[in-house]
Homo-oligomer: A and B are copies of this chain.
Amino acid sequence: MTRELPTPLLMFIAHRAAEGSIFTALRDAGFTDVTQAQGRLLAGIDPTGTRLTVLADRAGIAKQTATALVDKLEAAGYVQRVPDPGDGRARLVRLTGRAEAMIPVARAEEQRIEGEWAAHLGPRRMRQLREALTQLREITDPYVGQ
């Protein structure tokens, strides 16, 4: 009999499983040199490029950490830093072709997981889950500015 676990812990368990699956799928697809922390950062980069501080906020890490992660990603050829035309101080972190090649893989695994979860919960409950989580974001996401 499973005891009642705290809601945040339940989220942790499910999230960890999903992230692990995506990580494994990417590894199996040949992207063996991306770590989970680097992957989380990559996931925050928009198609037009994103500033480092924004990436740090999205991932919930300090900007120094983001600098180090981007350094590695750049060395591995997944991103490049280009000057931000709108602000001389800033630079935009852009995905390279190599990184873009991993997007379909990640998306596919993501879809597979969502499907698996929906199959287990049923469409109604899955929808309820997503609605509740999305609404919860209003009070738990420090980075509401998306």
Question: CB within 8 Å of B: which residues of A?
Answer: 2-3, 5-19, 43, 60, 110, 113-114, 116-117, 120-121, 125-126, 128-142, 144, 146
Copies in the complex: 2
**Inter-subunit contact B134/A17 (CB<8 Å):** no
* Choice from B18, B114, B128, B146 contacting A129 with Cβ under 8 Å: B128
**Inter-subunit contact A11/B133 (CB<8 Å):** yes
Residues of B within 8 A of A5 (CB): 134, 137
Smallest CB separation, A77 vs chain B (Å): 25
> In the complex, A19→B43 CA distance in Å?
22
25 inter-chain pairs at a CB distance below 8 angstroms, sorted by A residue, are: A2-B137, A2-B144, A6-B18, A6-B110, A7-B18, A7-B113, A7-B114, A7-B117, A8-B14, A8-B113, A10-B136, A11-B14, A11-B18, A12-B19, A13-B137, A14-B133, A17-B141, A18-B140, A116-B139, A117-B136, A117-B139, A121-B132, A125-B128, A129-B133, A132-B132
Q: Is the interface of A mostly helix, strand, loop or mixed?
A: helix
